Structure 1
Amino acid sequence: MSVAARGALHHVELRVADLDRAVAAWGWLLGELSYEPYQRWDDGQSWIAGGTYVVIEAAPLDGVHDRRRPGLSHLAFHAGTTADVERLWRAAPAHGWAQLYADRHPYAGGPDHHAAFLEDGERCKVELVATTR
């Protein structure tokens, strides 16, 4: 791993109820965003891009995530061009992701913010932001 700038995100760890379902959905999405498989163990897996990695791990306690309650709302990723975002938006349902805000897509984040909003099977939301035309 390279040395990252002070304050840069090191990693994100998401706890899930259904590890197999989450690994399938997140593995597809992270692969599409140029993350590569990094580590694997009985209760989890991680993917890395640059100096940042994402961990998907089986939760040791029961419970339900609700992004609308206090806590984490969503993760936002730079997703490339507007064409890249649209390709991911169209492909996501076949990989375990629900499309959010379809009536306002791709400007649910505002008129100058081209993005796709998706939700996995455990209601964890991601925002895929077009950062280049």
Structure 2
Amino acid sequence: MPYLTKLEVKTATRASRQDPVQLRRRKLVAAIEEQLNAADAAVNGETHEVTRKTWVKNEQGEKVLVDKLRKVRPWFFEQDGGWYVQCKYGNKALMIGNGNAVFVKALKEIAGALKALKAATDAGELDEAIAKATQRRKTK
């Protein structure tokens, strides 16, 4: 292997340049913004859909990149004479204070609750709840 002897080989580990806490906050803020759009659509009586890119095979058997519509699952639901708004990280509802949901009286107030959750995320108030949601359960 005379080719490898000409190279200078070292052991290196790539250091992450981004803080994982900041990455989690940005992910949650993006999801909350998507839920704000879903809440606006619900007020107007519509469903909110987003496009995503996915690979599919065409008639010739080649893989091609296409846009697909995906429905956004709302974090809010009607119950007990009002609306509950959950803040989710992935598929887990975050614990906010003593509970896992914010109660509002009307559908129009959901946007205000989501904006408050977004501000709390930006301020770092939900960092501990996000950390708990990202922990994996120990298996026996």
More strand by share: 1
TM-score by length of structure 2 reads 0.25
Question: Bigger radius of gyration, 1 or 2?
Answer: 2
Q: Which has the higher helix share?
A: 2
Name the structure, 1 or 2, with higher relative contact order (CA <8 Å, separation 6+): 1
